[in-house]
């Protein structure tokens, strides 16, 4: 079995981001699930918001892709767990860790076999930044909305790498307290539809069963990282 690690990287405190034509396609992918329904568990324990608020915000990040991608792919909230580590255990988990990981806001790790994803975990690095939820109240250095960071990380969990379109959800940079990543851009939608197919009027096509971008020898491979310019993370 191949093992792929994605370091899904530091959202950066970017200055004003320019507008890119929807026709610009700049996405990249590395693998895909062999099913259109993937469960994720949550350990909501964190240093910044209530566990209920964290859970709701992470579910909102899932729903960005569930409702805006134009595919039949669905992330499902499978319940709360107490996991504090990442591992290949056939259970997809998202958790917070009270550790400062430099400019990295969150890291997504994935395991795959012949290009088909079989496990994915995400860690939010809670030691050096302040997380907020909702659409107000966020402020200060190193501040970010969980919903937006989660939307980006769930994109990695889908099999997407970073996009070079600066206003895409999968762009590697993030402005402090930005709420833009919770809305998919044309490049994000094109990326996910390249893996899971566009939903047609009569229903979706069959689930994908193969993909690419993984190592054959099980060596972890980094699929993208970015640095914080101004101390806001992802």
Q: Supply the pLDDT for residue 203.
A: 56
Tokens of 131: 């997380």
For 77, phi then psi, to 5°, come to: -80, 120
Distance, in Å, from the CA atom of 156 to the CA atom of 138, rounded to the nearest integer, reads: 24
Q: Supply the pLDDT for residue 10.
A: 35
Q: Supply the pLDDT for residue 1.
A: 52
**Which parts of the chain sit beneath pLDDT 70?**
1-25, 201-234
With contact defined as beta carbons under 8 Å apart, do 49 and 58 qualify?
A: no
Q: Tell me: the pLDDT tens digits for 8-50?
A: 433 332 222 223 333 456 999 999 999 999 999 999 999 999 9
Q: Supply the pLDDT for residue 208.
A: 46
Q: Supply the pLDDT for residue 205.
A: 53
Is this structure's pTM higher than 0.85?
Answer: no
Q: Supply the pLDDT for residue 199.
A: 82
Q: Supply the pLDDT for residue 173.
A: 84
């Amino acid at each position: 079995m191949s093992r792929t690690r994605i370091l899904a990287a530091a959202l950066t405190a970017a200055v004003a981001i320019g507008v890119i034509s929807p026709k610009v396609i700049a996405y990249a992918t590395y693998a895909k699930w062999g099913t259109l329904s993937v469960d994720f568990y949550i350990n909501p324990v964190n240093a910044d918001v209530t566990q209920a608020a964290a859970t709701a915000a992470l579910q909102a990040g899932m729903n960005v892709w569930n409702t805006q991608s134009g595919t039949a792919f669905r992330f499902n909230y499978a319940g709360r767990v107490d996991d504090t580590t990442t591992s290949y255990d056939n259970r997809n988990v998202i958790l917070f860790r009270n550790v400062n990981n430099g400019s990295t806001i969150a890291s997504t790790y994935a395991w795959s076999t012949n290009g088909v994803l079989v496990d994915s975990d995400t860690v939010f690095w809670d030691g050096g930044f302040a997380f907020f939820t909702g659409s107000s109240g966020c402020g200060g250095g190193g501040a970010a909305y969980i919903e937006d960071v989660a939307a980006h990380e769930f994109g990695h969990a889908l099999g997407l790498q970073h996009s070079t379109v600066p206003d895409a959800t999968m762009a590697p940079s993030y402005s402090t307290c930005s709420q833009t990543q919770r809305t998919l851009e044309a490049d994000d939608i094109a990326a996910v539809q390249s893996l899971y197919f566009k939903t047609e009027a009569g229903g979706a096509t069959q689930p994908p069963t193969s993909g690419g971008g993984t190592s054959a020898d099980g060596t972890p491979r980094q699929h993208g990282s970015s640095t914080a310019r101004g101390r806001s993370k992802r």
